[in-house]
Amino acid sequence: MGGALRGFFDVQRYATPSRPIALRRVEIGFDALHRLPDVIMAVGGERRTGGIVVLSDTVPKKRLGSEVTELAASLASSVGPVERVTAVEDASGVHADDHTVSSAAAASASASVIVTVGSGTMADIGKAVAARLREPAHVVVQTALSVNGYADDQSVLLVDGVKRTTPTRWPDALLADTQVLAEAPLEMNLAGVGDLLAMFTAPADWGLAHLLGMDDLYSDDVVAMVREHGPALLDAAPLLRNYDVEAIELTAKVLTLSGLSMGLAGTTAPASGAEHTVSHLIEMAITRQRRPTALHGAQVGVATVLASLVWQHVENHVRAGARDMRCPSDAKMRPAVLRAFGHLDESGAMAEECWRAYRHKLSRWRELHGDVDELDGQHLQRATRWLGQPAALLAALRSSGAPTRMSQLDPPVDAETARWALANCHLMRDRFTVIDLAFLLGIWEAADVDAILAQAAAMEGGL
C-alpha cells in the first residue's frame, strides 16, 4: 500500500526553481513526536534568540496515556524555555478569525520557535501567527487525519464571517505521529478521507476554469502528484476503522501531498472546488447561529458526491445542446448575492464580502467572454478526465464508515441549509467551478438544484 509513496519524505523532490517549497522537514511515522527536539534545533537553531511557544487549544489529545500538548511542551523544554499559549475559544470552539490570530500572535511575540499542536483549524491559526510575526520558526504537530491543510502556505480564515483562503506561511516542519493519529477520534480521521475525496472533483473544476481563461495557475503535474494516489487512498479508507497502521500512514502522506500541491500551485484550487464551497457555506450559516459545525472534511465528503452529480448534470445538458453561456449584469447579480447571504448578518458585511469576490469573477468573465459566448465542448471533455464517478465516491464513504448524507453529519445539517448552500455556493467567492458554468448555461434554476438533491437521495447519499 505504501510503496507508491516510497521516498516521500524528501519533500524537495516536488520543488522547482519557480515553485520552491519552504517546508524543510516532514516526519511521518511512529514516534515522530519524539523527534520534536531535533526538529526544533534543525529548523529553529539559527533563530534561537527567544523561547519556544507551544500553541494549542483545550481539546484533549492522547498518545499512549500522555496528553499530546503536554508531551510536546515537555519534549520542547529539553531545547529551551517553553511557554504555553492557548487559542481563544467560544462555546462552539476555536475559530480562525482575526481576533484569535491577533491574540495568539501577541502572546507569542517573543518566541523564536512556535510549535502548533492540533488539527486543521489550529494549523491554520499557527501558520497565520507565524506569518504575522515573520521571525519565529514554525513546527506543526498534526493530531488527526482531518484535513489537508497542514503542509501548505495558506490558511482558511474568517473575513467578515466569510471563509477566505489567505496566503500565510509554510510551516518549517511537520510532524505526524502515527500513534497520535491512531488515537484521534475516528470521525476526525474519516473526515480526512472526505477532504481528500475532493481530488476526484476539484481538479476538474480547476482545469475547467483554466480552459475558460478563469485561472492562470493550473498545472497537470500538480494535480497528478496527488491524484495518482487516489486508488490507494480508496483502498486504505475502510481500514482506518481498524486503526490499520499502514492505512493511517498512507492517508497522512496523501494529505501532506495534497497540502504541498496547494502550496506549489499558489492556490487551494487543486484540492478545493465546488464541494468545498458548499461546505464553507454550511459552516458560515451554522457558525453565525453560534452552533457547533460538523467536521469540515466530513461535509466535504458528502458535498463531493453532490459536486460529481452536478458535473453529470452539466455534461448531459451540453450533450443535449446547451452551449450558450450568458453572463448577467452586475445590476441583476448584486441584489441576488445580497439576498442569498443577507439573512446571515444584519450588518450586511458578510453579503458585501461575498459580492466583492463574486463581482470580480463576473468582471473577469465579461473581459474574456462578453455577455454571451458559446461553450467549446472539448473544454468539458478535457476537464472531466480527472473526475470520479458519484457511485464510486459514495461507496468509498460508505465502506469507510464516513457520513454519506448531510443528515448523518454530527451535528446533522438540515435539508433547508444543505439546499441553500448548494444553490448559492457559486455566489460566495471568485473561484470558477462547474456550478458557475451551470449557472451561465441557464441550468442552475431551483428545479436543477432539486434534481441533483433528489438524485443524491436516490443513491442514499443525499440529504
124-158 residue pLDDT tens: 999 999 999 988 999 999 999 999 999 999 998 88
pTM of the predicted protein model: 0.92
Beta bridge partners of 62: 67
Strand 372-374 to 324-326 pairing: antiparallel
Q: What is the 3-state secondary structure (H, E, C) of 53-112?
A: EEEECCCCCEECCEEHHHHHHHHHCCCCCEEEEECCEECCEECCEHHHHHHHHHHCCCEE
Q: Would the pLDDT of 290 be above 80? A: no
Q: What is the mean pLDDT of residues 48-68?
A: 92
Given this model, what pLDDT does residue 9 score?
60
3-184 and 200-218+269-458 share one fold:
no
pLDDT tens digit sequence for 2-30: 445 644 567 788 888 888 899 999 999 99
Q: Contact 245/182 with Cβ under 8 angstroms?
A: yes
Alpha-carbon span 40 to 111, nearest angstrom:
12
Amino acid 159: pLDDT = 83
pLDDT at 184: 97
Residue 280 one-letter amino acid: H
Average pLDDT over residues 393-416: 95
The mean pLDDT of 196-215, rounded to a whole number, is: 98
pLDDT, average across residues 359-364? 98
Fold of domain 200-218+269-458: Dehydroquinate synthase-like, alpha domain (1.20.1090)
Amino acid at 414: D
376-398 residue pLDDT tens:
999 999 999 999 999 999 999 99
Domain positions in the chain are: 3-184, 200-218+269-458
Q: What ranges in 266-413 are assigned the alpha helix state H?
A: 274-288, 296-319, 330-341, 349-369, 377-383, 390-400
Residues pairing with 89 in the sheet: 94
CATH top class, domain 3-184: alpha beta
Q: How far apart are CA 229 and CA 253, in angstroms?
A: 10
The mean pLDDT value for 266-283 works out to: 95
Mean pLDDT of the chain: 93
Instruction: Kindly state the helix (H) or strand (E) to which residue 347 belongs, with its residue range.
Output: none
Which grid coordinates are listed for 195? 477532504
Model pLDDT, residue 5 = 60
Angle made by CA atoms 245, 249, 252, in degrees to the nearest 5: 140
